[in-house]
Structure 1
């Protein structure tokens, strides 16, 4: 993610699947949950991917601030490449002394 607001909050602390237990400061974890292709006799009609993005912080308010920045950076319709990203669901969690904002995005 190359959004200035997000980078200002977490720096390079953006990880696929998990972060090391000793990761300091705030961080983001992302994980693909689904990738599907719809086909017709003419070929591929559409592709869909669901991605969970977790904003993790020792501060509840800061975890929410990071989640808002992620939403603002990703949500929308894009021309190049032609895709649509939508927030489908969100929830929150607490583990290992960290507040976790869980965002589920669909990418089509």
Structure 2
């Protein structure tokens, strides 16, 4: 099955769940914590499926970033002049 078909199938299941919840709320009331939790969870699932549908419709992004080659040559030592020694402070100043 394609992704679109699977998402449509999930959407139908969520629609069935919503209808069942509506009937259940008519029978036992909608004020109970348990009923509200199931309703909220079903709403979250509906939002998540909508996000999945958007992601599936978007053009496919690369799975991993492009690799960057890092040279094995030593660093230029001038990069490290006039810098503070980490944790020791500047060379021309004293600690308090």
Q: TM-score range by the shorter chain?
A: under 0.3
- TM-score, normalised via structure 2 length: 0.27
TM-score (norm 1): 0.25
Q: Between Structure 1 and Structure 2, which shows a larger proportion of strand residues?
A: 1
Larger Cα Rg: Structure 1 or Structure 2? 2
Higher helix share: 2
